[in-house]
Amino acid sequence: MFDYVYSSPQERAVQTTEIVTGIQGVEEIHSIIKRVSEFMHELEDKTVKRDVNILVSGHRCTTGPIERKD
């Protein structure tokens, strides 16, 4: 049993995840965007007063909702 399950939205990854866990379905894109946005705001709140470099690595589905600030 897994406490958390993360999967790429790519079909082959979803199929593998469903086989291994027995869990069906993928998180809706609006939910992903909301969750990533909330994470980015939380990260910004934690680091706003410090000079830091942050690396966020992921697939387009997770990094796409991140608005680049230069």
Is residue 48 domain-resident?
yes
Is residue 42 domain-resident?
yes
| Per-residue pLDDT tens over the stretch 22-68 | 887 777 778 877 887 888 888 888 888 778 877 766 666 666 666 55
- Average pLDDT score over residue span 12-30: 82
pLDDT exceeds 70 at position 17:
yes
The pLDDT assigned to 34 comes to 85
The pLDDT assigned to 68 comes to 55
Is residue 21 domain-resident?
yes
- Three-class secondary structure of residue 2 per DSSP: coil
If one compares 3 and 42, the residue with the highest pLDDT of the two is 42
Is residue 4 domain-resident?
no
Number of domains in the chain: 1
What are the Cα distances from residue 28, in Å, to 18, 20, 32, 62?
16, 20, 6, 12
